[in-house]
Every structure is written in C-alpha cells, then in structure tokens.
Amino acid sequence: MVLLMLMITADLENLTNLQPQFGCNDPDFSYMFKVKCGNCGELSQKETCVSLKETISIPRSRGIAHLFQKPYHRKFPWTRILSYIQKPYHRIFPCPRIINYVRKCKFCGRDGTVAMIEGRGQPLTHSQSQSGKYAPLMLFDCRGYEPVDFLFADGWTAESLEGTTFGNIDLSSGDFADYDEKGECPVTISNLRSTFEVVK
C-alpha cells in the first residue's frame, strides 16, 4: 500500500484559493489520471476517472477505517461508528474496504485498486503560487497501481484577490482568463503543474 498525495500548482494572476468547485472534498469533482501497473510497469492508454461519490466495496477485506469514505456508506453503517473510535482500534475490525477504482492489468493480469482519502486537500493560494509551492489536493491509497499524469479538466473555482468568486472554471485547455470588475484587473490561471508525492 502506497499513499500518494496529488499536489498541484499554477501561476495565479490576481487570483487565490484555486480548488474544486465545492471545495477539496467535492464529491462530484472528477480526478482523471493514467495508471501504471506496479508489477510490470504497463501504463494505461486512457485516463481513468474517479470521484469521491463513486465507490466500490470489497467484501470481507480487513479494512482500516480511515480508508472509508464519508459520509458513511448506507450499506455498511458500522463505518460511521468506526470513524469515532480512536485510531489504534481501527485495525482489529475485519470489514469491507471501500475503494474508488479497481482494474486488472491488461498485460500481466495483476489486480490493482485506488481508494481516495478525503479531508487532506487545501486550496492553492496566491502566495503558494507566487513562490512556486504546490498545494495538496487529494490523497490516494494505491495498491498495485500508481496514478500518473493528472489531467486538469473542468469544475474548478478560484477567488480574485478582491473577493470575487469565479466558478465553473474549465482548465482543460491549460489556462483560464477573465476580468475582475471589483479589482479592475485581469485574472488568469496558467502554467498548470501536478505531481503525485509519496506520503509517509
């Protein structure tokens, strides 16, 4: 099991708090990336698309509660109970594991899963952008697969430095430009960059 944090940055001109439309835990926000098999190194041809709202459960797997999605799964009410119990006790409960993606490698046949762990993302601020720092967006628990090449698409929001909100930003073309009436200045997003960083 490898925990990988998706880190993003961009050049923000007169903008701050770049994040998914409804925040970093937006259940509808789609994360698109390719996956690389940890066994044979095969890279998927197409991007995979995952979101917090779409989950798959693996029955009778020994789960760790922090891997469960919140809000708790209707079919597995004990996941909510688990989230209130202190961490060390999590490991003693055998329970279904909730994941967001499962795939069999086309080349070597090995199964791989990706689970999203919410609550770890933060908006990219203007000052982080200025200093070239990356902001964490989403944490992925990867088993057998490694996500690579995150694709920026639509569903983003950002605020101007004067407080105007710009919603439904589409970054699939690689940039965004608009005008802030309040601040009487152009607002742009460009030079999008991302990386998956190992979290220990």
Which residues contribute to the site for Zn ion (CB under 5 A)?
37, 39-40, 42, 105, 107-108, 110
Cα gap 135→165, rounded to integer Å? 19
Task: Give the number of other Cβ atoms within 10 Å of residue 134's Cβ.
Answer: 18
- Looking at the Cβ atoms of 35 and 135, the one nearer to Zn ion is 35
Half-sphere exposure of 187 (CA within 13 A, CB side): 25
Q: Is the peptide bond before 20 cis (omega within 30 degrees of 0)?
A: no
CB of 4 to Zn ion, least distance (A): 18
- Looking at the Cβ atoms of 37 and 116, the one nearer to Zn ion is 37
- Looking at the Cβ atoms of 81 and 108, the one nearer to Zn ion is 108
CB of 103 to Zn ion, least distance (A): 10
Cα gap 99→45, rounded to integer Å? 22
- Looking at the Cβ atoms of 65 and 105, the one nearer to Zn ion is 105
CB of 95 to Zn ion, least distance (A): 28
CA neighbor of 25 nearest in space, from 121, 123, 134, 114? 121
- Looking at the Cβ atoms of 48 and 194, the one nearer to Zn ion is 48
Torsion angle in degrees (nearest 10) through CA of 60, 3, 150, 135: 130
Residue type for position 193: R
- Looking at the Cβ atoms of 108 and 177, the one nearer to Zn ion is 108
CB of 104 to Zn ion, least distance (A): 9
CB of 105 to Zn ion, least distance (A): 3
CB of 152 to Zn ion, least distance (A): 27
From residue 154, give the alpha-carbon distance in Å to each of 59, 89, 113, 117, 176.
34, 39, 25, 21, 11
